[in-house]
């Protein structure tokens, strides 16, 4: 069984977070260390440890999660300006919480390549 993570605790409301959206499928909350004016993390209520694990899931479930991420970005008012969606996966990408989370980051001009 997968280890309990900080985001399991946020989902169970055992750790406080600034939740910006919650429905049957997903929870979205503000990152505690924002990298842009808007920085929100979106987790599915069904747990996957990483992006690689999500890719093995039922396509309908994957689709609902991705649609949820896009919906949160729209609700945050980022559709017109644009935004980044980042899934840090594994050690070189510096994934620190092993509960899949999409970073939605926006509200400023980004550069490429990322750091």
**Does 19 contact ligand AMP by CB under 6 A?**
no
Element (H or E) spanning 64, and its range? helix 59-75
Size of the site for ligand AMP (CB under 6 A): 13
Q: How far is CA 52 from the centre of its chain?
A: 14
Distance CA 102, CA 86 (A): 6
**Does 97 contact ligand AMP by CB under 6 A?**
yes
Burial class (CB in 10 A: 0-12, 13-18, 19+), 21: middle
**Does 53 contact ligand AMP by CB under 6 A?**
no
Minimum Å gap between C-beta 52 and ligand AMP is 14
By C-beta, is 12 or 60 nearer to ligand AMP?
Answer: 12
Q: Is 101 a catalytic residue?
A: yes
**Does 94 contact ligand AMP by CB under 6 A?**
yes
Count CB atoms within 10 A of the CB of residue 93: 12
Identify the active-site residue in 39, 98, 101, 103. Answer: 101
> What are the CA-CA distances from residue 41 to residues 1, 70 (Å)?
23, 12
Catalytically annotated residues? 101
Interaction site with ligand AMP (CB under 6 A): 6, 15, 17, 29, 31-33, 41, 88, 94-97
């Amino acid at each position: 069984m997968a280890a309990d993570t900080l985001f399991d605790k946020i989902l169970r409301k055992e750790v406080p977070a600034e939740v910006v959206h919650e429905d049957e499928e997903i929870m979205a909350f503000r990152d505690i260390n924002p990298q842009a004016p808007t920085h929100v993390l979106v987790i599915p209520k069904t747990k996957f440890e990483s992006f690689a694990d999500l890719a093995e899931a039922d396509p309908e479930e994957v689709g609902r999660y991705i649609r949820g991420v896009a919906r949160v970005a729209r609700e945050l008012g980022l559709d017109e300006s644009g935004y980044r969606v980042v899934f840090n996966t594994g050690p070189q990408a510096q994934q620190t919480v092993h509960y899949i989370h999409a970073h939605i980051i926006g509200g400023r001009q980004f550069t490429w390549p990322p750091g």
